[in-house]
Structure 1
Amino acid sequence: MTAVLALVVTLAALTFHTWVNATRWLRRPTDGPVEVTEPVAVLLPLRDEADRVEPCLRALLAQHGVPGLRIVVLDDGSTDGTAEVVRAVAGGDLRLTLLTGVAPPPGWLGKPHACWQLATRAEPAATVLAFVDADVVLTPYAVAAAVTELRAARAALLSPYPRILVATVAERLVQPLLQWLWLTFLPLRGMERSPRPSLAAAGGQFLVVDRAGYLRAGGHAAVADKVLEDIELARAVKRSGGRIALADGSRLAACRMYETWPQLRDGYSKSLWASFGHPTAAAVVVALLLLLYTAPPLLAVVALAAGAPTVAGLAVLGYLLGVAGRVLSARSTGGRAWPDALAHPVSVGVLGWLTFRSYHLRKRRRLSWRGRPVS
């Protein structure tokens, strides 16, 4: 009884923290007309993205509020005609430059190397660099709004997290956990104020950096061998004395990261091991998540069968607190709340399995992404 009560109190505290983050500390850039005067370079790395890059490119070419906008695209060894799609969409627009990338040298992973090539070959006058992934579609004032928020936060790096689009059951189970995890467990105001590199979060789908601060941190060369190059870049910025900030970018950008279960499974498997570090740490974290969010509904069933209605009621309350946290996260980041939040215990269970799979494949050196090894 005491243990179950402690579990419920812990869940209540975590859900309250989610509410505080979502309502008090989460930055929300304006989605209305705004203009910036400084030159900005949008950097788009592409590798075999012919089938989905067009909406991203058209949205970039339709940006408003940035008179000095330049778009630099890197074709990173594509074999599916990505470069031809880029040329067709650009239609000779002089704001867009298409570069041909070179293979990453020893010690580099593909994504950091592509981003570093873009950063070092971007328009020299650009004072802000905006990294965008091919699966991201920006609203017309997204770049201007993100740059405005970057300056308002007095930060060297701003991560305006896009609205994550989901369609399949697998996506609805797993994808919302991205926002839920940092809203629930990361103190956003503390992250901004603290110089500790360990207290950092960022999403590489849409990342805006002050160019001087980015270079002072070493840029992507400082995270050349990192699978989670976005989070590691944020940590590098902190180590160099810069400030980072996280924002709800759901009104600025939308992103469907994976369209099939194999894509989602392999995408998370390639990087979850890097999120936790040592396998022991991963085991502890996953065990705690399962205890907090997956155990309560199971405990409720067992308690009812054993004739312990009080324990069952507390377990149900714990389950509902977890659901409430998931609903708060979804509503504050443009996600889907109902009925997906009701399956939150299943979502956490799937995350645990994906984490186990990530370490299992890494141990056997079988992790790869887009034809390149990642460990």
Structure 2
Amino acid sequence: MLSIYLITLTILLLWTILNGLTLPLLKIPKNKPIMFPDKVSVLIPMRNEERNVRPLIESLKKLTYENIEFILLDDGSEDRTKQLSVEMIDGDTRFNLMEGERLPPDWIGKVHACHQLSAKATGDFFLFLDADVRVDPDTVQRSLHAFSDKTGLVTGFPRYPLKSFLGHLLVPMQHFVVYLHLPIVLANLTKWPAATAAHGAYMMFEREAYLKMGGHETVKQSLVEDIHITREMKKNGFFVKLINNTNTVTCYMYETNKEVWQGFSKNLFPGIGRNPFLVSILIIFYTILFLFPLPLAIYGVIIAQFSLLVPLILTMTVKFVIDMMTRQKWWLFIGTPLSVALMMILMVYSMYLSMTKRGFTWKGRIYQ
């Protein structure tokens, strides 16, 4: 029985390595420094983002792509977001600061903000960024190089600097889930809607593909609009390229424990289609493959049968490999069982909030 268990975990480790290696890095190919004539609209929704405004706009001003416009939308902020934005823009004509319209009852806040931004944009490409994102100076050129024939969207999961206790345990699990569960080759080389992943902090659309797909209005009631808009893109005949952008894009996501808890509670159950059966399957999967190795290893130490430590080593190695591929802190693998356990707890809690109609709280708004 132990040998079968070890074989299964070894296959899982090899799968993770191979899967990660097929994820293309966001880069400019050697000997191909093409200058693009296309205009790029960088579109950023902001709500209560006073802590991010200064570093965000400083980052945007360092972008080296010339044919560019920046459109920022203040979505009813209750802090100094608008004031700080005006100060930081400081007359730079590339920037346009919009005042967001009142949120209609049948829209999600961020989705409505992105919809308004797209209506104002004049570029050939739309690059949607979150306010907590910082980008390298050549990010736009790198992103344009990632497009090929019939590619409608390029997206990827950024690098996450970590601050809070829950942030260290949970935020990198976004990469973990993608590398472990998503067949990258199918995601990038087919138009199969089920084989998709996306991160709303960094999504670059080819304009005509975005408009043909119907834009953010198509997913106006989605709490996980990034996933759903990606599926819609494929349904409309376009490829979606998932890339490793951790070398170029940084996201200061969920800085406090409270933000981590609320953010994951909001996204986990909706992200798996609000499917209780799938929650049960995932709990069984993670319990057997990622939680059981810990008590097994403890038992192995007690009885001096050290071969029982191997399953724990293998599961931690899976996490270690993913963290290294995504430029994360090397020692995070030590907390693998706790990270998995917390993710399962939050998955159940997210399901509870949804099924009891208590709703999800985010940035002062409550969503069902």
Unaligned runs of 5+ in 1: none
* Number of the residue aligned with 1:350: 342
What pairs with 1:144-293 in structure 2 (closer than 5 Å)? 144-149=141-146, 151-152=147-148, 154-276=150-272, 277-293=274-290
CA distance in 1, matches of 2:333, 2:269: 25
For 2:328, give the aligned amino acid: G
3-state DSSP class of the match of 2:258? helix
Unaligned runs of 5+ in 2: none
Matched, 1:302 2:299: yes
Contact kept in structure 2, 1:34 and 1:145, CA below 8 Å? no
For 2:108, give the aligned amino acid: L
Task: Write the deviation string for residues 115-147 of structure 1: whole angstroms up to 9, x where unpaired.
Answer: 111011112xx1100000011000111122112
Equivalent in 346, 361, 369 of residue 353 of structure 2: 361
Matched, 1:136 2:133: yes
**Residue-pair matches, total:** 363
* Number of the residue aligned with 2:316: 323
For 1:295, give the aligned amino acid: F
For 1:343, give the aligned amino acid: G
CA distance in 2, matches of 1:153, 1:48: 38
* Number of the residue aligned with 1:117: 116
CA distance in 2, matches of 1:61, 1:44: 14
Contact kept in structure 2, 1:48 and 1:81, CA below 8 Å? yes
Mark the CA change 1:67 to 1:350 in structure 2 (over 3 Å): closer, same or farther: same
3-state DSSP class of the match of 1:130? strand
Task: Write the deviation string for residues 181-209 of structure 1: whole angstroms up to 9, x where unpaired.
Answer: 11111111111122221110000111111
Matched, 1:337 2:312: no
Task: Write the deviation string for residues 268-322 of structure 1: whole angstroms up to 9, x where unpaired.
Answer: 00111112221121121122112111111112223554x482xx62x42111111
Contact kept in structure 2, 1:37 and 1:67, CA below 8 Å? no
3-state DSSP class of the match of 1:200? coil
Contact kept in structure 1, 2:75 and 2:113, CA below 8 Å? yes
* Number of the residue aligned with 2:90: 91
Equivalent in 3, 10, 13 of residue 12 of structure 1: 10
* Aligned-pair CA distance for 1:34: 6.7
Mark the CA change 1:51 to 1:304 in structure 2 (over 3 Å): closer, same or farther: closer
* Number of the residue aligned with 1:49: 49
Task: Write the deviation string for residues 223-282 of structure 1: whole angstroms up to 9, x where unpaired.
Answer: 111111001110000010110011111111111201111110011001111122211211
CA distance in 1, matches of 2:287, 2:201: 28
3-state DSSP class of the match of 2:196? coil
TM-score where L is the length of structure 2: 0.94
* Number of the residue aligned with 1:373: 366
Task: Write the deviation string for residues 143-182 of structure 1: whole angstroms up to 9, x where unpaired.
Answer: 2211221x24751111132111112332111111111111
TM-score where L is the length of structure 1: 0.92
Mark the CA change 1:153 to 1:18 in structure 2 (over 3 Å): closer, same or farther: farther
3-state DSSP class of the match of 2:69? strand
CA distance in 2, matches of 1:80, 1:9: 54
Contact kept in structure 2, 1:217 and 1:237, CA below 8 Å? yes
Task: Write the deviation string for residues 331-370 of structure 1: whole angstroms up to 9, x where unpaired.
Answer: 11111122x1021011100101111111122233232211
For 1:48, give the aligned amino acid: N
For 1:5, give the aligned amino acid: S
* Number of the residue aligned with 2:75: 76
3-state DSSP class of the match of 1:245? strand
CA distance in 1, matches of 2:81, 2:45: 11
For 1:50, give the aligned amino acid: E
Contact kept in structure 2, 1:163 and 1:335, CA below 8 Å? yes
| CA-atom RMSD in angstroms | 1.7
Task: Write the deviation string for residues 61-86 of structure 1: whole angstroms up to 9, x where unpaired.
Answer: 2110x221000001101111211111
Contact kept in structure 2, 1:153 and 1:245, CA below 8 Å? no
Task: Write the deviation string for residues 35-60 of structure 1: whole angstroms up to 9, x where unpaired.
Answer: 42210000000001012221111111
Q: Which moved more, 1:49-58 or 1:126-135?
A: 49-58
* Aligned-pair CA distance for 1:111: 1.0
